Structure 1
């Protein structure tokens, strides 16, 4: 009998292959092969998972296969798959529970509606399962988080928890808003299938002490143009932004800025009186979901959960099972969202031109809920500008961990068409009144060692706030008007608040950025005169100072128009303006340490002959400054990285000196 008809070596080869296959089938051995991975495959294998690729990561798939379950089979019936994994003996708790966290995350993603306002109970229940398994893995398995600190798997599971909590809060808030309005607090609860969810908001302090929330926005979904960096704190919990309705903070400053709310609501004779300050209505919030139970078995079988929102400025960490855990936070998202929705750019232009829907008085914004223990950095923008001028400055200061722990940022938004003397008086009163509201005794750290930062015209105003006028301004500006007798006395009395002042006692450091302390020839040039003719003072100012303006007109000895008798902001910035020339000679308080930052747009010029394109160096330079930083820049020098680093250096120095 012939086994093969193949001639020679071919027949021999066929017999060898047949014999080898028969031997392998009898032995039951698998063929093992090896391939080399590139860097992209290496990272994908170690860290790729359902959140990064939409598919289960290798660790979860391996766990399922060890249990004899195919990933596709598990995805078709997650409850059945969960039961099989829970009943499997010999599998480590960490491996099983981490796989379940990812499996439920995959299931929840598939069930979650595309519309974030839609409510789906099955999806919400799946997110709760994902969060609970992740929570159990992180804090109730045999090893503590510290023992796994360098493990990729722990980072993945923490991300499953944080993302699940973000989704839970988003869906619960949509449900609470539909059922109970927009109230946050312990009275808010929800039932989802067998789940009972409650709220514990003891760690949360919202703007204006309100419990009303208009929207809860996941910070991870926001991307900003115009901000150089996004500052976060890695840790445990979901990073959210709570939007407080402007109306619960008080009257709005102007219809154009829906978020420009005021703090509280007062009445005088039945007429609403708007305080001049408010907290930023977009607050960063870090949210946890805790699950009932003191051990692994209890946590894995509970259906009771508590939602815990926290203010990340005040709460940096929490305790779970006796372990200190850092709290995740996003410090940029709320600020960026506020500026993006403020309408400040258009409103600031309207204000300068005296148009409708502008502002006619200063308003002070607190970038976070008032903290009596943190010192205040107060920022003043320049001509035709708004808090948007400080977008990267404020963000970078908030992003600096040490500065964030020591300082809180306040920003003044003021009408830049008004005379400098009027604005400085209004801002001076605004700062004093706001501090008195929060700290009547004036002994909190927030009321001491304030730092002023002013850009351009805001720098001029900042210098006036730390200067003593004596009778110099009154004598210099009014003597030439030939005002005598009753007219002169009445006018001096009327202008007392604007022209006679003392340094703010709360300030002991100031930073002047591109400030035209001695005016600028640009304001007198063709473009400056053109803009000056477009600037209009509000009727309210003319009415308020009508009698004084009439005295000024009479003192000029001519038939002067009342409206032309008072200078606007552009007039005040001219290097020939009597007010700016007189103000340049006022002494700065010896208690105040001050610094200058100036721009130089043409580096080929000698410094003393240069300018930033708007303000000459000679006008921005101040004798006696503790430091002067020259930056190759145009007039918006405050936005340059070099200027921001200099501000940070000064504030770190200030913090050490007043520790």
Structure 2
């Protein structure tokens, strides 16, 4: 009986002990296999890309016994950390952690002073005082610290509504005192423009471009607006409205580690437009600036009316407002720089060059030699008229920008035209004599019964001389012998009813139509539209195709051909190869793509090659 009782007791004790034994057998530390991307995110994530603290910063909190305190009272924990730094009780590892913790708290509390604290700590880590050792270039905290600094100054110096970064001198609050920031307001004046409205690019998501170019470095990357200083409206109009310039803000904090010991710190704010420099010297080191030209370009186009002009610029009054014929520089013109002028095609706009401009302007070898201009026009107007407007615009721009003729860059202009824009481009580089006029009229121009104003308009449009400052032209998908789509009668008939006559041509049109007997061919009761001009049967395009490029101008062709069939019998959906191909060009590249080939990498790289060759660069 006693043995049975003991046995039952042992069984009961064993049952009670099983949970304890099971718990003791479960390992408190271990590792399991997971997707490597999960581990990578855990090791590289930080407050900037996940909203959570990085592994390295959590380690620092643990080593300093501040993990729980930071969770309970972040400001007290950060104050303790700073006091330990000042007392010399910490190593260099604490600075990137303090930067991230300050930024984390700023995000949670909305207190701007902690963004600036993040920038201060990050600067100390990146650019240590005196002869202190530099961070290991492979240390991932180096990039994190740079990004925390960049975002810290952008948010710490933000406007009250947080929409822009304020570029000004002032005194700002720090968690432990104040920061006096000096700024030379003359830095806001650049290339004859005042820079305004500095939007942090880190807050911009880019769409519509295949390539987003970022040059990692130090400083807050910004998209800045521009206001012309001159009162000359013609000069002001040369700069594209609402276009943004890429710039970088840098806040220098000399002897930052030493200054941290006091309650008042000093810093100097600098501003660097992208075209001015890509690097700065900090503590004797050459350091790249953070730059994001793609986002600045996209932000400017987002705010621009350029997209609205595409169909308005073709149909005109059907949309109640026509496109303004306009030549603009996408950046302030710089002395010695060669203008590259982009001319869009039918029912298009300057915005369609965005991908090409984005890639080209990011190349220092291109940017150091060229400025980018764009010409917008009513693409439904007669081609000879639009080409006249282009020639006048280029001539006026050169005269306004270089009245004394001393700028060598303006004497080497490159014009790039897509589709109909290629025909306008050709008419900057040909000597037509009377051929275009003779194709339209059978009476001499002096015998037309029109006003002198209309006679001068006809003479300027149809008696063409090459512009002396245009030295190179590039044709992209250009219908030199017309477009097979424009040959279709129902297409032309429909568009003829919709396309309106530009206001400047209304009077001249009425006068010319009163001279029907002077027309070389029966023209009905209206002047031809651009679509008429691009019909392969049209006398204008047939005559223009037979006029060679002037011997003083180098020409290049980029031709799109769809599919894998023979090039010679191919087309791009709008223009046949046999129409786009012309003899006598310096180079011809065929790209297997559709008509809008100007955004494709092969076309962009070919334009880049031509531009580099033009200045003798490799």
Give the TM-score category using the shorter length. 0.7 to 0.9
Which whole-Å CA distance do the structure 2 matches of 1:415 and 1:547 have between them? 20
2:468 aligned counterpart, secondary structure: coil
Q: Distance in 2 between matches of 1:399 and 1:557?
A: 50
Pick which of 454-463 and 161-170 moved more. Answer: 161-170
- Cα deviation, residue 379, structure 1: 0.6
Partner-residue secondary structure (3-state), 2:309: helix
1:165 Cα deviation from its structure 2 partner: 1.8
Is 1:534 the counterpart of 2:518 in the alignment?
A: no
Q: Distance in 2 between matches of 1:417 and 1:609?
A: 28
Q: Is 1:513–2:476 an aligned residue pair? A: yes
Cα displacement (A) at 1:494: 4.1
Judge which range, 578-587 or 407-416, deviates more: 578-587
Helix, strand or coil at the partner of 2:372: strand
2:135·2:142 contact (CA, 8 Å) conserved in 1?
A: no
Cα separation, 2, equivalents of 1:85 and 1:484: 88
Partner residue of 1:341 out of 298, 303, 325: 303
* Cα gap change, 1:157 to 1:502, in 2 (>3 Å): same
Q: Aligned equivalents of 1:517 and 1:107: distance in 2?
A: 64
CA contact (8 A) 1:284 1:330 kept: no
Counterparts of residues 134-533 of structure 1 (less than 5 Å)? 134-141=122-129, 148-171=136-159, 174=162, 189=170, 191-192=172-173, 194-205=178-189, 209-211=193-195, 213=196, 215-244=197-226, 265-266=231-232, 276-294=237-255, 296-298=257-259, 301=262, 302-355=264-317, 358-359=321-322, 361-478=324-441, 480-481=442-443, 485=447, 487=449, 493-525=456-488, 526-533=490-497
Larger displacement relative to structure 2 (81-90 or 519-528) = 81-90
> Could you list the per-position Cα deviations for residues 553-596 of structure 1 after superposition, in whole angstroms to 9, with x for gaps in the alignment?
463599998xx453221221112222222222222122222111
Looking at structure 1, the residues matched to 511 and 281 of structure 2 have their Cα atoms a distance apart, in angstroms, of: 63
| Secondary structure, aligned partner of 2:557 | strand
Residues 134-160 of structure 1: CA distance to partner in whole angstroms, max 9, x if unpaired?
112211256778652221111111111
Deviates further, 65-74 or 332-341: 65-74
**Which deviations, in whole Å up to 9, do the C-alpha atoms of 1:262-287 show, x marking residues without a partner?**
x95547xxxxx796522352323434
Q: Does 1:592 align with 2:543?
A: no
Conserved 8 A contact 2:383-2:533: yes
* Structure 2 equivalent of residue 51 of structure 1: 48
Whole-angstrom distance in 1 between the partners of 2:538 and 2:520: 20
The farther-off stretch of 616-625 and 54-63 is 54-63
> Is residue 2:90 matched to residue 1:106?
no
Change (3 A) 1:133 1:300: farther
Q: Is the 8 A contact 1:227 1:392 kept in 2?
A: yes
Residue 588 (structure 2) aligns with: 628
In the superposition, relative to structure 1, how do residues 456 and 85 fare at CA in structure 2: closer, same or farther (>3 Å)? same
Counterpart-to-counterpart distance in 2, 1:164 and 1:287:
14
Q: CA deviation at 1:164?
A: 0.9
Q: Which runs of 5+ in 1 are unaligned?
A: 22-30, 113-122, 178-183, 250-262, 268-272
Give 1:260's aligned residue: none
Q: CA deviation at 1:625?
A: 1.4
Go from structure 1 to structure 2 and tell me whether the alpha carbon gap of 1:145 and 1:475 turns closer, same or farther (over 3 Å shift): farther
Asked if structure 1 preserves the Cα contact closer than 8 Å seen for 2:481 and 2:579, the reply is yes
For 1:425-464, what per-residue CA distance to the aligned partner results, in whole angstroms no more than 9, with x for missing partners?
1111211222232233333343143221110000011111
Q: Which digits, 9 at most, give the CA deviation of each residue in 1:451-506, with x for residues without a partner?
A: 2111000001111111122233234433x247664738956544222122322222
Secondary structure of the residue aligned to 2:475 is: strand
Cα pair distance change 1:552/1:79, threshold 3 Å: farther
Output the CA distance in 1 between the equivalents of 2:354 and 2:81: 54
Shift of 1:422: 1.4
2:539 aligns to what?
578
Are 1:376 and 1:407, in contact at CA under 8 Å, matched by a contact in 2? yes
Distance 1:283 1:361, change over 3 A: closer
CA distance in 1, matches of 2:433, 2:368: 38
Once residues 291 and 282 of structure 2 are traced to their aligned partners in structure 1, the CA distance between those partners, rounded to angstroms, is: 18
Normalising by the residue count of structure 2, what TM-score does the alignment of the two structures yield?
0.85
SS at match of 1:598: strand
| Alpha carbons 2:440, 2:521 under 8 Å: kept | no
For 1:90 and 1:443, the matched residues in 2 are separated by 61
CA change 1:443–1:93 in 2 (3 A) is: farther
- C-alpha change, 1:484 and 1:308, in structure 2 (3 Å) is closer
TM-score, with length taken from structure 1: 0.81
Please give the alpha-carbon distance, in whole angstroms, between the structure 2 residues aligned to 1:231 and 1:128: 27
Question: For the residues of structure 2 that align with 1:73 and 1:341, how far apart are their CA atoms?
Answer: 43
- 1:173-210 CA-to-partner distances (Å, cap 9, x unmatched) read 75999xxxxxx776x54544733334335445568613
Asked if the contact 2:360/2:608 (under 8 Å) is kept, the reply is: yes
Q: What's the offset of the Cα at 1:292?
A: 4.5
Q: Is the 8 A contact 1:348 1:385 kept in 2?
A: yes
Structure 2: distance between partners of 1:630 and 1:400: 24
Secondary structure of the equivalent of 2:49? Answer: helix
Q: 1:91 to 1:538 in 2, by over 3 A?
A: same
Closer, same or farther: CA 380–202 of 1 in aligned 2, 3 Å:
same
Distance 1:145 1:444 in 2: 48
Instruction: Determine the C-alpha separation between the residues in 2 that align with 1:567 and 1:495.
Output: 14
Partners of 2:339 and 2:443 in 1: CA distance: 41
The alpha-carbon distance between structure 1 residues 275 and 546, as it changes in their structure 2 partners (threshold 3 A), is: farther
Q: CA deviation at 1:380?
A: 0.4
Specify the alignment match of 2:3 in structure 1: none
Contact 1:288–1:307 (8 Å) recurs in 2? yes
Secondary structure of 2:583's aligned partner: coil
Deviation at 1:304, TM superposition (A): 3.1
SS at match of 1:197: strand
Alpha-carbon distance change, 100 to 195 in structure 1, aligned in 2, over 3 angstroms: same
Structure 2 vs 1, CA of residues 71 and 654 (structure 1 numbering), >3 Å: closer, same or farther?
farther
How much has 1:131 moved relative to structure 2?
0.7
C-alpha separation between the residues in 2 aligned to 1:367 and 1:633? 27
